[in-house]
């Protein structure tokens, strides 16, 4: 698995991308490795927090040897249960992401991309912020106003928008003009075909 990630990262750079983002969030395999209810391994990749974080950290170390740590980012989603991933003890969750942020800081990666949610305690945000000195990116459900507030108070260095751009191809223009936004059509979100991608209205 580690070598597959390394190959994919090398191919991305060869294809002209500026860097790669490892998806350690939203119930995918790297988040599964962090979760004690799913990761039941008994070797060096399972058990305590350090071992459960090992897979993600080992992948980053190997990728960094090939493309450079400055071209690597990681997305995480503390307290997420997306994809039926089970929640685990709050104290252990906080310790997991505090440890992970500290180790990612030592590895010198470009950024951590946090999928925000009301379920994440402020304590967790503060621990990640204090343990990681490079760029923090926040996403998920942000409005222009809440995004600006995160930048202003220093809790985020950058903000990202996903669904807002899908539903509003002219998202930036709408912000500039203080125009209303299209609602997201969740029935066609991330489904095949043009519906939900190219059929949203744009400003005249």
Q: Which residues are catalytic?
A: 28
CA distances from 193 to 166, 169, 188 (A): 13, 17, 9
Residue 180 and residue 190 in contact, taking contact as beta carbons nearer than 8 Å:
no
- Three-state secondary structure along 142-196? CCHHHHHHHHHHCCCCEECCCHHHHHCCCHHHHHHHCCCCCCCCCCCCCCCCCCC
Residue 141 and residue 118 in contact, taking contact as beta carbons nearer than 8 Å:
no
> In DSSP terms, which residues pair with 76 in a beta bridge?
24, 114
Q: Using DSSP, state whether 132 is helix, strand or coil.
A: coil
Distance CA(180)–CA(184), nearest Å, equals 13
Residue 158 burial by Cβ neighbours in a 10 Å radius (0-12, 13-18, 19+)? middle
């Amino acid at each position: 698995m580690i070598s597959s990630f390394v190959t994919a990262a090398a191919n991305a750079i060869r294809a002209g991308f500026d860097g790669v983002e490892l998806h350690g969030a939203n119930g995918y395999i790297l988040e599964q490795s962090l979760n004690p209810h799913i990761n039941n391994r008994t070797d060096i990749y399972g058990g305590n927090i350090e071992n459960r974080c090992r897979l993600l950290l080992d992948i980053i170390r190997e990728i960094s040897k090939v493309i450079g740590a400055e071209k690597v980012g990681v997305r995480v989603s503390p307290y997420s249960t997306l994809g039926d991933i089970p929640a685990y003890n709050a104290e252990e969750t906080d310790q997991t992401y505090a440890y992970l942020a500290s180790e990612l800081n030592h590895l010198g990666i470009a950024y951590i991309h946090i999928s925000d949610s009301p379920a994440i305690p402020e304590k967790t945000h503060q621990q990640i912020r204090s343990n990681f000195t490079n760029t923090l990116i926040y996403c998920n459900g942000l409005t222009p106003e809440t995004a600006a507030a995160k930048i202003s108070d220093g809790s985020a260095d950058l903000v990202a928008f996903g669904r807002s751009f899908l539903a509003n191809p002219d998202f930036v223009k709408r912000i500039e003009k203080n125009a209303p936004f299209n609602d997201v059509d969740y029935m066609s979100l991330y489904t095949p075909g043009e519906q939900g991608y190219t059929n949203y209205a744009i400003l005249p």
